[in-house]
Amino acid sequence: LLELVPSIMSNLLNPDAIFSNNEMSLSDIEIYGFDYDYTLVFYSKHLHTLIFNAARDLLINEHRYPVEIRKYEYDPDFAIRGLHYDVQRAVLMKIDAFHYIQLGTVYRGLSVVPDEEVIEMYEGSHVPLEQMSDFYGKSSHGNTMKQFMDIFSLPEMTLLSCVNEHFLKNNIDYEPVHLYKDVKDSIRDVHIKGIMYERSKQILVRSRCYQKFARIVNPFNVRLTWLACCSRDKGMRYIVGKDWRDLFDVVIVQAEKPNFFNDKRSFRYLGPLSVICYNTSVFLLQGNLYEFLKLTGWRGSKVLYFGDHIYSDLADLTLKHGWRTGAIIPELRSELKIMNTEQYIQTMTWLQTLTGLLEQMQQTFLESLSVALLSSRLFREMTKGFFNAQFGSLFRTDQNPTYFLRRLSRFADIYMASLSCLLNYDVSHTFYPRRTPLQHELPAWSDRPPAAGLPLLQEAQAK
Hey, which residues are catalytic here?
35, 37
Q: 449 — phi, psi (to 5°)?
A: -60, 125
For residues 107 and 148, which CB has a smaller minimum distance to Mg ion in the complex? 148
Q: What span, in angstroms and rounded, lies between the C-alpha atoms of 133 and 70?
A: 30
Q: Which residue is nearest to Mg ion (CB)?
A: 37
CB of 39 to Mg ion, least distance (A): 5
CB of 393 to Mg ion, least distance (A): 22
For residues 93 and 255, which CB has a smaller minimum distance to Mg ion in the complex? 255
CB of 38 to Mg ion, least distance (A): 4
Would you tell me how many other CB atoms lie within 10 Å of the CB of residue 334?
14
For residues 35 and 335, which CB has a smaller minimum distance to Mg ion in the complex? 35
Q: Helix 454-462 and helix 368-386: axis angle, to 10°?
A: 90
Q: What span, in angstroms and rounded, lies between the C-alpha atoms of 191 and 153?
A: 11
Q: By CB under 5 A, name the binding residues for Mg ion.
A: 35, 37-38, 308
For residues 90 and 252, which CB has a smaller minimum distance to Mg ion in the complex? 252
Exposed (0-12), middle (13-18) or buried (19+): which is 423, by Cβ within 10 Å?
middle
SS (H, E, C) 296-333: HCCCHHHEEEEECCHHHHHHHHHHHHCCEEEEECCHHH
Of 157, 158, 161, the residue nearest 146 (C-alpha) = 157
CB of 187 to Mg ion, least distance (A): 15
Q: What span, in angstroms and rounded, lies between the C-alpha atoms of 40 and 238?
A: 12
Distance of CA 102 to the CA centre of its chain: 17
**Is 35 annotated as contributing to ligand binding?**
yes
Residue 181, CB-side half-sphere exposure with 13 Å CA sphere: 9
For residues 39 and 144, which CB has a smaller minimum distance to Mg ion in the complex? 39
The answer to whether the CB of 20 falls within 8 A of the CB of 426 is: no
Of 422, 335, 405, 327, the residue nearest 38 (C-alpha) = 327
Q: What span, in angstroms and rounded, lies between the C-alpha atoms of 12 and 92?
A: 33
Q: What span, in angstroms and rounded, lies between the C-alpha atoms of 109 and 64?
A: 20
Q: 218 — phi, psi (to 5°)?
A: -60, -40
Query: Buried b / exposed e across 140-171, counting CB within 10 Å, b at 16+?
Result: eeebbbbbbbbbbbbbbbbbbbbbbbbbeeee
For residues 308 and 316, which CB has a smaller minimum distance to Mg ion in the complex? 308
Q: What is the DSSP string of 111-128?
A: EEPPHHHHHHHTTSSB--
CB of 328 to Mg ion, least distance (A): 8
Q: What is the DSSP string of 259-310?
A: HHHH--PPEEE-S--S---TTS-EEEEE--HHHHHHHH---GGGEEEEES-I
**Is 189 annotated as contributing to ligand binding?**
no
CB of 35 to Mg ion, least distance (A): 4
Q: What span, in angstroms and rounded, lies between the C-alpha atoms of 322 and 76?
A: 36
For residues 219 and 330, which CB has a smaller minimum distance to Mg ion in the complex? 330
For residues 38 and 210, which CB has a smaller minimum distance to Mg ion in the complex? 38
Q: 186 — phi, psi (to 5°)?
A: -65, -45
CB of 286 to Mg ion, least distance (A): 18
CB of 161 to Mg ion, least distance (A): 23
Instruction: Name the binding residues for GMP.
Output: 37
Instruction: Name the binding residues.
Output: 35, 37, 308
Instruction: Name the binding residues for Mg(2+).
Output: 35, 308
